[in-house]
């Protein structure tokens, strides 16, 4: 009898990518992915701990599993990912619901753990690893539009930002073998995908060394390091240290028809070498997500971010110098420990100076075990957090709208991704700056479809998207270098 698994992903793109690795591991154990929990023999919730609200959402979903189990007594429920590592005892106490708790570095053990669950026992493995990257596992693409995909290039984080649980839930930083990354991207081209996002908690600290090469200390190249000259395609083998700029260039060369994005950058580690590579290759999208968190140097110091306001703005200036048309987004936390009205005003002034295309904005949420929870009182009243957050949101809405209005009249390349949610007569896609562009589903006598690359003249804008008129279709046949 065929076994069926339903995997529900919460939180970041890294969790989506991890779920595809899990699906691949379970496929070898006879499981087929299905589209709903009601169809499944096994339900896995791949969880996020970055904010309290994210954990609350998952806990509510776990409680809902009681009803499913009442209708299907053979159903097994597992919790994967960051909450599995951080809250294993609490999760296992949910005796009637959770059968399996597995951390992000233990997915290879799922078949053995499921055997244990099959005997009526609870099963848990939340051990973190210094080596696991799942490098050779070919993901099973879940809920895909067949156009865009994610490829994880590294795991874990060494940064120890004071507010963040990731180093405790995902472990130390380790980079994946670049050859396996390039091969996975080449396979995406063969499978018809048109865009890939390279994922890491901090892609700028990606470092891979051959086993025989001794490790050097420190983070490597900084912003003022010498820039490389333009290079011709490199051989398949990597026989020396590979940093993120090297990897980005190799993927761009190997897959010239594949659009390339990446996430997430860290301001203290982003180098001009990366920016030079981005500017050199047309298939690397001109979009950078560069979290600032606060515009106050004093708050950044308490956050243990490793840079100050001046350093961050110097990175913004360097991006603009290399790629004047590059879009920049950010993360901002309102009401962090000890934040004063003056600190908040500095965040608002930085938003004005940086000119972000968009931002992810949140109230500070204290997370257990973090440096902030141990060292700093959560002393900004919730109503003050809310007011400051709303001021940040209102200002950024103005900036986002202005940035989008600036595109009107220009012709942009747009990769069509799917049907618009508001109208079946329209499709949506993204330009290189990651802005959503809405276009008609037809151009002349041609019916457009997801995966089509078109040129569109931008005719209008709203607070969150662009409207475009298709002027040409630029579809290319997949080609590998």
Q: What is the pLDDT of residue 95?
A: 58
Alpha helices in 141-285 (DSSP H): 166-170, 178-190, 244-254, 272-280
Which tens digits make up the pLDDT trace of 369-395?
Answer: 899 999 999 999 999 999 999 999 999
Q: What is the pLDDT of residue 218?
A: 32
Which of 61, 90, 125 is the endpoint of a domain?
125
Name the residue range of residue 445's domain: 411-473
Kindly write down the DSSP assignment for every residue of 286-349, as one continuous string: SEEE---B-S-HHHHHHHT-S--HHHHHHHHHHHHHH-TT-EEEEEEEES-TT--HHHHHHHHH
- Residue 139 counted as domain residue: no
Q: What is the pLDDT of residue 230?
A: 37
Which of 371, 388, 405 is the endpoint of a domain?
405
Distance of alpha carbon 368 from alpha carbon 51, whole angstroms = 10
Q: What is the pLDDT of residue 239?
A: 75
Query: What CATH number is associated with residue 383?
Result: 3.30.750.200
459-to-285, 346, 441, 451 alpha-carbon distances in Å = 22, 35, 16, 22
> Above pLDDT 90, what percent of the chain?
78
Which of these ranges, 140-144, 217-221, 452-456, has the smallest mean pLDDT? Answer: 217-221
Q: What is the pLDDT of residue 232?
A: 38
Same structural domain, 353 and 432: no
Query: What CATH number is associated with residue 206?
Result: 3.30.750.210
Same structural domain, 428 and 328: no
Q: What is the pLDDT of residue 2?
A: 83
Alpha carbon distance, N-terminus to C-terminus of the chain: 43
Distance of alpha carbon 114 from alpha carbon 122, whole angstroms = 9
Whether residue 476 has pLDDT greater than 60: no
- Residue 459 counted as domain residue: yes
| Average pLDDT over every residue of 274-297 | 98
Same structural domain, 261 and 160: yes
Same structural domain, 399 and 384: yes
Same structural domain, 349 and 446: no
Same structural domain, 55 and 94: yes
Is residue 300 a contact partner of residue 293, using CB atoms and an 8 Å limit? yes
Q: What is the pLDDT of residue 222?
A: 35
Is residue 398 a contact partner of residue 354, using CB atoms and an 8 Å limit? no
Which of these ranges, 79-93, 156-170, 413-427, has the smallest mean pLDDT? Answer: 79-93
Q: What is the pLDDT of residue 237?
A: 61
Same structural domain, 8 and 107: yes
- Residue 224 counted as domain residue: no
Which tens digits make up the pLDDT trace of 185-237?
Answer: 999 999 999 999 999 999 999 999 887 444 333 323 333 333 333 333 444 56
- Residue 25 counted as domain residue: yes
- Residue 479 counted as domain residue: no
**What sign results for the dihedral spanned by CA atoms 263, 264, 268, 269?**
negative
Same structural domain, 15 and 105: yes
Distance of alpha carbon 351 from alpha carbon 323, whole angstroms = 19
Q: Identify each DSSP E strand in 83-144 by its residue range.
A: 100-102, 123-125
| Average pLDDT over every residue of 353-370 | 95
Q: Identify each DSSP E strand in 48-170 by its residue range.
A: 76-81, 100-102, 123-125, 148-152, 154-155
Q: What is the pLDDT of residue 53?
A: 83
Domain tally for the chain? 4
Same structural domain, 261 and 317: no
> Above pLDDT 70, what percent of the chain?
93
Higher pLDDT residue, 227 or 327?
A: 327
Query: What CATH number is associated with residue 456?
Result: 2.40.50.140
| Average pLDDT over every residue of 389-405 | 97
- Residue 132 counted as domain residue: no
Q: What is the pLDDT of residue 236?
A: 52
Same structural domain, 37 and 101: yes
Q: Which residue has 């799917």 as its token pair?
A: 418
| Average pLDDT over every residue of 472-477 | 76
Question: What's the pTM?
Answer: 0.89
- Residue 365 counted as domain residue: yes
Same structural domain, 245 and 274: yes
- Residue 242 counted as domain residue: yes
Mean pLDDT over the full length of the chain? 91
Same structural domain, 336 and 351: yes
Select from 123, 120, 119 the least CA-distant residue to 110.
Answer: 123
Which of these ranges, 28-42, 83-97, 307-321, has the smallest mean pLDDT? Answer: 83-97
Which of 125, 160, 188 is the endpoint of a domain?
125
């Amino acid at each position: 009898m065929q076994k069926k698994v339903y995997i529900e992903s919460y939180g970041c793109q890294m969790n989506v990518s991890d779920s595809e690795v899990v699906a691949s591991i379970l496929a070898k154990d006879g499981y087929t992915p299905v589209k709903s929990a009601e169809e499944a023999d096994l339900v896995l919730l791949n969880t996020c701990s970055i904010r309290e609200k994210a954990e609350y959402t998952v806990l509510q979903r776990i409680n809902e599993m009681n009803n499913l189990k009442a209708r299907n007594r053979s159903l097994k429920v597992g919790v994967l990912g960051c909450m599995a590592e951080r809250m294993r005892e609490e999760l296992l106490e949910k005796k009637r619901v959770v059968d399996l708790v597995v951390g992000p570095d233990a997915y290879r053990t799922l078949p053995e753990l499921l055997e244990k669950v099959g005997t009526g026992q609870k099963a848990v493995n939340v051990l973190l690893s210094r080596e696991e990257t799942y490098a050779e596992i070919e993901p099973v693409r879940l809920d895909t539009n067949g156009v865009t995909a994610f490829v994880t290039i590294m795991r874990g984080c060494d940064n120890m930002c004071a507010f963040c649980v990731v180093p405790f839930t995902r472990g130390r930083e380790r980079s994946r073998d670049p050859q396996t990354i390039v091969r996975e991207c080449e396979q995406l081209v063969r499978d018809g995908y048109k865009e890939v996002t390279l994922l890491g908690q901090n892609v700028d600290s990606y470092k891979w060394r051959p086993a025989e090469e001794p490790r050097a200390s420190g983070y490597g190249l900084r912003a003022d390091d010498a820039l490389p000259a333009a290079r011709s395609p490199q051989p398949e083998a990597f026989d020396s240290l590979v940093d993120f700029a090297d990897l980005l260039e190799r993927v761009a060369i190997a897959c010239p028809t594949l659009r390339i994005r990446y996430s997430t950058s860290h301001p203290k580690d982003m180098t001009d070498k990366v920016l030079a590579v981005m500017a050199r290759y047309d298939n690397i999208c001109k979009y950078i997500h560069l979290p600032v968190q606060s515009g106050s140097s004093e708050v950044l110091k308490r956050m243990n971010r490793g840079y100050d306001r001046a350093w961050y703005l110097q990175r913004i200036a360097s991006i603009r110098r290399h790629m004047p048309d590059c879009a920049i987004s950010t993360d901002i936390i309102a009401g962090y420990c000890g934040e004063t009205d003056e600190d908040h005003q500095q965040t608002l002034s930085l938003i004005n100076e940086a000119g972000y295309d968009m931002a992810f904005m949140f109230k500070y949420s204290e997370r257990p075990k973090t440096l902030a929870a141990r060292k700093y009182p959560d002393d900004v009243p919730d109503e003050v957090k809310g007011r400051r957050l709303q001021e940040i949101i209102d200002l950024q809405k103005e900036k986002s709208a202005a940035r989008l209005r600036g595109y009107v009249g220009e012709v942009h390349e747009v990769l069509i991704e799917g049907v618009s949610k508001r109208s079946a007569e329209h499709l949506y896609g993204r330009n290189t700056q990651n802005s959503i562009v809405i276009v008609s589903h037809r151009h002349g006598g041609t019916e457009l479809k997801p995966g089509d690359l078109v040129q569109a003249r931008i005719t209008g804008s709203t607070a969150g998207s662009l409207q475009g008129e298709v002027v040409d279709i630029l579809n290319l046949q997949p080609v590998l270098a």
